């Protein structure tokens, strides 16, 4: 390679590395803001805002979904398999909402520690398979197929 | 890559074959994805959006890398063909990014319950669209096309940092978007009957990009070399 | 499976067919527009040359 070209190559490489490092520092600094939701453990540890609106994400605990009234009010527990936070929500749930499903809800904490949600979004996993396969997996957990 | 006239003649020869192969792959992928593949155990038929969403999203990243690498080659070695491939990639890359965002939104509404959320994956993909639009706008704004391609190459290289951010966003941060399915290191967590159409579509989209970028590059080449002898010969032959 | 069921897509027909429709239009534009642009470029160059030649013969 001619020296001029070599120089240009190094210049470009240096530029790309410098930008990557700068972006790395920037993202690290704003790490918490880039998190879409808080986990129940963080909420129990008091890391989530007391009064402001935030998002809470976790898995709906099996058997915890209750409908106390005739209206659209639902109560359920959310867990990250370490801590549990109770959630109350009034409204229409997304198609994917079910027990054992990951969800993200937006709302605020009430004084008694119950999370009052204004919005519930379902988070689905990265597995795709036909229903028959899913059924047989439930009977004998293991690999796909 | 060789000289411009050689590039023009060669691509003219292979384009019909590429188009045929691309059509066959996408037709097979559509048949497999919309008809043959079973409905998903959780998402039912709505998961079939995967067959346009995921290939578009993959291509939005792939095209950007090609654009940045060709831009760098243009900067370092002043290769005309690489410059032209870089600038011709921007519109098709922007199209794939737009498709990934729109089809994702149409998938998010019924499944997540929202058209759009500002999580790290969706936001970084939106930034990618703006990067592409910036490249297109910058190239159009500068009169001299060789200067323009150099400016565009630098912008593309700066934006390159966004590519790993998009890919790893779902692992580095909590997001509403789920983690990777096919590109994980262990076995892909998608059933074979659903995976095969997805791969067919992915290869089909890659060929589509190649076709579109070659057509655009040929047009760009003619405009840039409008005073040369080989373009004269081309005009006489018409 | 009949056609109605196929179009209905278990209730997700709107989302699926809109996705595929938009994808088709966007991809088609990515072929049509560059082809047109290339044709226009060739025509422009041909016109420019003809004009130049006429100007030369006028002199």
Measured between beta carbons, the chain B residues lying within 8 angstroms of A121 are 112-114, 117, 176
pLDDT in tens, B182-191: 766 566 688 8
In-domain check, residue C35: yes
Q: Which domain holds residue B133?
A: 18-35+48-171+189-222
Say yes or no: A20 and A91 in one domain. Answer: no
Query: Is the CB of B215 less than 8 angstroms away from the CB of C22?
Result: no
Supply the mean pLDDT for chain B. 91
Q: How many CB pairs under 8 A join B and C?
A: 88
Same-domain status, A19 and A42:
no
Does the distance separating the beta carbons of B232 and C9 come in below 8 Å? no
DSSP one-letter code for B174 = -
Position B115 in a domain:
yes
* One domain for residues A43 and A15: no
C-alpha–C-alpha distance, residues B151 and B93, integer Å: 18
Q: Is residue B4 part of a domain?
A: no
Cβ-based neighbours of A95, under 8 Å, separated by 6 or more: A122, B110, B111, B113
Number of separate domains in chain A? 2
A40 & A21 share domain: no
Is A43 within a domain? yes
Considering the domain boundaries, does residue C8 fall inside one?
A: no
Most confident residue range from B70-79, B171-180, B220-229: B70-79
Residue A46 lies in a domain: yes
Assess whether A84 and A108 both reside in one domain.
Answer: yes
CB of A15 less than 8 A from some CB of B: yes
Number of Cβ pairs < 8 A linking chain A and chain B: 124
Strands (E), A15-141: 54-60, 73-79, 84-90, 102-109, 115-123
Rounded Cα gap, residues A48 and A38, in angstroms = 7
**pLDDT grade, residue A145 (50/70/90)?**
very low
pLDDT at A144: 45
Asked if residue B104 is part of any domain, the answer here is yes
Q: Average pLDDT for residues B95-111, to the nearest whole number?
A: 95
* Among chain B residues, CA nearest to A27: B165
Nearest to B87 by CA among B136, B19, B31, B14: B136
- Structural domain containing residue A72: 35-123
Overall domain count for chain B: 1
Give pairs for B183-186: CB < 8 Å, separation 24+: B184/A126
Residues B112, A124: C-beta atoms closer than 8 Å = yes
Question: Nearest chain B Cα to A126, which residue?
Answer: B181
Residue C31 Cα distances to B15, B100, B208, C26, C35, angstroms: 12, 19, 9, 9, 6
Q: What percent of chain B has pLDDT over 70?
A: 96
Residue A137 lies in a domain: no
Which A residues in the span 98-117 are in contact with B, Cβ-Cβ below 8 Å? 104
Q: Cβ distance B235 to C42 under 8 Å?
A: yes
User: With contact defined as beta carbons under 8 Å apart, do A77 and A65 qualify?
Assistant: no
C2 inside domain: no
Q: What is the pLDDT of residue B68?
A: 96
**pTM, 2 dp:** 0.90
């Amino acid at each position: 390679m001619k020296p001029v070209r070599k120089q240009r190559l190094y210049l470009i490489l240096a530029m790309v590395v410098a930008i990557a490092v700068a972006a790395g520092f920037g993202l690290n600094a704003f790490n918490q803001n880039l998190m879409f939701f808080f986990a129940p453990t963080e909420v129990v540890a008091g890391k989530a805002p007391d009064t402001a609106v935030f998002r809470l994400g976790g898995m709906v605990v099996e058997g915890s979904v209750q409908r106390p009234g005739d209206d659209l009010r639902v109560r359920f527990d959310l867990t990250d398999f370490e801590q549990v936070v109770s959630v109350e929500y009034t409204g229409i749930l997304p198609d994917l909402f079910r027990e054992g499903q990951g969800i993200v809800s937006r709302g605020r904490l009430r004084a008694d520690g119950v999370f009052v949600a204004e919005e519930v979004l379902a988070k689905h996993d990265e597995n795709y398979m036909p229903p028959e396969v899913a059924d047989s997996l439930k009977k004998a957990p293991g690999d796909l197929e | 890559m060789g000289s411009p006239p050689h590039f023009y003649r060669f691509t003219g020869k292979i384009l019909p074959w590429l188009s045929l192969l691309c059509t066959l792959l996408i037709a097979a992928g559509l048949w497999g994805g919309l008809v043959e593949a079973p409905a998903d155990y959780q998402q039912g038929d709505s998961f079939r959006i995967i067959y346009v969403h995921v290939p578009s999203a993959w291509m939005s990243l792939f095209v950007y890398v090609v654009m940045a690498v060709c831009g760098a080659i243009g900067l370092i070695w002043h290769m005309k063909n690489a410059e032209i491939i870089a600038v011709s990639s921007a519109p098709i890359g922007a199209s794939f990014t737009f498709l990934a965002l729109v089809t994702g939104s149409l998938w998010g509404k019924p499944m997540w319950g929202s058209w759009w959320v500002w999580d790290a994956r969706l936001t970084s993909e939106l930034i990618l669209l703006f990067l592409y639009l910036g490249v297109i706008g910058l190239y159009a704004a500068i009169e001299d096309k060789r200067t323009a391609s150099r400016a565009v190459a630098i912008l593309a290289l700066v934006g390159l940092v966004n590519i790993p951010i998009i890919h790893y966003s779902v692992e580095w941060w909590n997001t509403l978007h789920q983690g990777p399915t096919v590109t994980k290191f262990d076995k892909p967590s998608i059933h074979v009957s659903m995976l095969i159409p997805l791969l067919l579509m992915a290869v089909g989209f890659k060929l589509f990009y190649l076709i579109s970028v070659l057509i655009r590059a040929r047009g760009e080449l003619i405009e840039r070399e409008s005073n040369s002898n080989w373009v004269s010969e081309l005009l006489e032959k018409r | 499976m009949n056609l109605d069921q196929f179009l209905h897509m278990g209730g997700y027909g709107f989302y699926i067919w809109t996705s595929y429709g938009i994808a088709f239009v966007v991809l088609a534009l990515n072929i049509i527009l560059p082809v047109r642009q290339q044709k226009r470029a060739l025509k422009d160059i041909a016109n420019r040359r003809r004009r130049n030649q006429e100007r030369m013969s006028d002199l």
